[in-house]
Amino acid sequence: MKIAPSILSADFAHLARDVEKVEQAGADLLHVDVMDGHFVANLTFGPLVVQALRPVTNLPLEVHLMVSDPAAWAPAFAEAGADTILVHEEATDHLYGVLQHIAATGVRAGVVVNPGTPLSSLEEVLPLVDQVLVMTVNPGFGGQKFLTAMVDKVARLHQLRQDRGLHFDIEVDGGINAKTVKAAADAGTDIFVAGSYVFSASDVGAAISSLREAVQ
């Protein structure tokens, strides 16, 4: 399993310090939630934040674009140093093309589905992607409760991956803690985004370790 702390839950006044803390605690990558105030109500980070983080961490940076026009945003984040760029199925009428353009920049390309979006909408793009992110909360804000109904969705995606002989990573985002992580892992999840559970913990290392221990 890989654990991706979401910097949306970090202390923005001490972002480099918090990133260093989770890296030393054993995080596998960093999750950067980009929100434009339109696709979702919140407003967060731009490419300059990724550019600033790139020299202060060796962890891969995955950028989750919660924006209305991902084709316009993706190139700047690729240039800023993102290792993976994730775009919402719901955000574009030209998903196939957007994913192709991301892959052409040399960055890993991923697709995201909201809780109400069926997996059938991904049929044509699955061979293109390196990663599929299943939202286990409604997008836009941290600290929400895990939607248990999404466990079955992850299991169906895992089965689809096996049936079609594909090799994309499966990721979940939202409400991940020591109580919810095992169900998602058992369903076939590879990468777990954890925000407030990690960054709000008094002992970040213990929080990350507890996620790993919960799936054993």
Task: Please indicate if the annotation marks 175 as binding a ligand.
Answer: yes
Do 130 and 84 touch, CB atoms closer than 8 A? Answer: yes
The reply to whether 188 sits in an annotated binding site is no
Eight-class DSSP state of 58: -
The residue from 18, 36, 130, 173 that is catalytic is 173
Q: Using the 8-state DSSP alphabet, how is residue 84 labeled?
A: E
* Annotated binding residue 14: no
Binding residue per annotation — 174? yes
Contacts with 117 (C-beta within 8 Å, 6 or more apart), sequence order? 89, 90
210 is in an annotated binding site: no
Q: Has 190 been labeled as part of a binding site?
A: no
Task: Give the integer Cα–Cα distance in Å for 215 and 165.
Answer: 25
How many Å apart are CA 189 and CA 167, to the nearest integer?
13
Helix (H) or strand (E) holding 215, with range, is: none
36: annotated active-site residue: no
Please tell me which residue in 11, 18, 33, 152 is annotated as part of the active site: 33
**196 carries a ligand binding annotation:** yes
Q: Which residues contact 206 (CB under 8 A, 6 or more apart)?
A: none
116 is in an annotated binding site: no
Q: How far is CA 118 from CA 11, 69, 124, 157, in A?
A: 35, 21, 13, 10
Which value, in Å, is the radius of gyration of the alpha carbons in the chain? 16
Is 140 annotated for ligand binding? yes
203 has catalytic annotation: no
* Cα 125 to Cα 116: distance, rounded to the nearest angstrom: 18
For tokens 């998602």, what's the residue? 184
- Other C-beta atoms within 10 Å of 186: how many? 13
Is 33 annotated to bind a ligand? Reply is yes
28 is in an annotated binding site: no
Output the known binding site for substrate: 6, 64, 140-143, 173-175, 195-196
Q: Give the active site residues.
A: 33, 173
Output the known binding site for a divalent metal cation: 31, 33, 64, 173
